[in-house]
Structures are given as structure tokens and as C-alpha cells.
Amino acid sequence: MATIAKSDLKTWLLNTLNSEGVPNDKQPSDTEVDQIMEDGLREYSSYRPRQAVEDVTSDGSNKYALATTLDSYTDEFSRVLEIESPIEEDLDDFGEINVLTRDQWREYRRPDGMYIRFISGQVPASGENFRVTYTALRAFNSSDQVTVTDGDKYALVDLMASIGFRLVAGKFARTTNRTTVRADSTDHEDVSRRMLNLAKEYMAKFETHIQRVVPRRFTAHRIKRA
């Protein structure tokens, strides 16, 4: 995995927009740049979800609300991939890791959200820890850094640039709607179309890179263990 600073991503993103001729008066504001990066990480996560691992202390119950039990769980995105119970703490022991099979627990939705439920005979004893591996969104941590898959750094910038070009195209479109000068209106429409074309071009670059490794988009609710 590669760790990237938010400040570096911002610099690379703005350099890309500048290199393609985005005018100074249509550059994204700091707030817009933050939103572009947040949207980009969310989109990137749909292709390369982060695998989060958390240890949970059992209270003796057979069911646990995922949104309140797991720190990085996002409803309608995250999915539990694996549960280890009891946890094997001796890393030098080459014995079997106690990964539960899918018929020993299930993930299901109640009116108040998603839960995991252990079947009878597999409920962790009160005070015992069990380990949950699940998919999570990628986001900046408290140190303003984010981890991405090795080799994806510049592809992520391409994705964020695509979002940025769409935003800039929208600014030109709004200006066109307000203008009364035909020549200026035509010029703004041309620039808006160019920005939209750049957005498509950079998104295509991102998808070409991603599909070299992942042939189709990740769908959270369809993930299965091999």
C-alpha cells in the first residue's frame, strides 16, 4: 500500500487542471478542492475498497449492530468479509486460524440497520474478542493522509481531475446562461464542452488503469469469499 498526503494530492490535482488550461477565475476554491478529493476517494473506493480489520469484545450477545460496532463501517457500502473467533494471538503458531464459515454467522438488515448474527454454538463468550474484516471507504486520516493500492497514485489524480473538469464545465455553463453577449456565450460553451471532454478523457485513463487489475467495478453487496 502507498500512503499519500492530502497536500500532495491537492498539488497534483491543481497542477493537472492548470496544465489543461483551466482559467484562474474558474479554478476550484479550497472548499471545492476538498469536496473533489472526498468525492474522488469515495469513487475510488467503489473500485478499490479498503479492507479494515477490527477486534470486537463480545458482550455475550449473538448479534451486533455493524454501524455502532465497527468504526469505519458505512451502511450500504461496507460488507463483512471474514470473522475470526476466537482470535489466534500466537503468530508463531502455524496451526489453523479460526475463521468462521459463512454458515456460522450471517449479515442481515433490521429496521435500525445492518447486523451480524452468530448461530447457536458459535457465539463468542462474554469478554472474548472476535476479529472482523470488512470493506470500508478510503478517507483521509487524522494526519491528512490516505492509503491507496500500490501503483494507483496517479490514476487517483486522474479520477479527481475528471471530477474537477466537470465542476469547471459547470461554472462555464452557468456563466453562459447569464451572459447577453453572443460571442462570449459561444466561447464559454466551447470551453465548457472542452472541459467535459477532458473529464471523459481523464475518467477513461483512470478506468483503463484500474481495469488492468480489476476487470469490473466493485459491488459491495456482491462480495464473496473465494
Task: Tell which of 136, 164, 182 closes a domain.
Answer: 136
> CA nearest 56: which of 69, 67, 66, 68?
69
Q: What is the pLDDT of residue 215?
A: 46
Assess if residue 200 is contained within a domain: yes
Same domain, 54 and 44: no
Share of the chain above pLDDT 70, in %: 85
Assess if residue 175 is contained within a domain: yes
If one compares 177 and 148, the residue with the highest pLDDT of the two is: 148
Confidence of residue 25 (pLDDT cuts 50, 70, 90): confident
What are the DSSP E strand ranges found in 30-79?
A: 50-57, 63-65
User: Prior bond to 86 cis, omega within 30?
Assistant: yes
Least confident stretch, 13-27, 43-57, 136-150, 185-199: 185-199
Q: Is the pLDDT of residue 224 over 50?
A: no
Q: Give the three cell numbers for residue 206.
A: 483512470
Q: Which helix (H) or strand (E) holds 171?
A: helix 153-178
Assess if residue 88 is contained within a domain: yes
Assess if residue 223 is contained within a domain: no
AA letter at 136: A
Residue 211 belongs to what domain range? Answer: 2-48+142-217
Assess if residue 224 is contained within a domain: no
Same domain, 65 and 29: no
Same domain, 59 and 30: no
Task: Tell which of 73, 105, 136 closes a domain.
Answer: 136
pLDDT digits (tens, 9 = 90+) for 81-133: 999 998 987 766 556 788 999 999 999 999 999 999 999 889 999 999 999 99
Q: Give the three cell numbers for residue 186.
A: 459561444
Same domain, 54 and 27: no
Q: What is the pLDDT of residue 92?
A: 61
Counting Cα atoms < 13 Å in the Cβ hemisphere of 196 gives: 11
pLDDT digits (tens, 9 = 90+) for 161-205: 999 999 999 887 766 555 444 445 546 678 889 999 999 999 999
CA gap 85, 65 in Å, rounded: 17
User: How many structural domains are present in the chain?
Assistant: 2
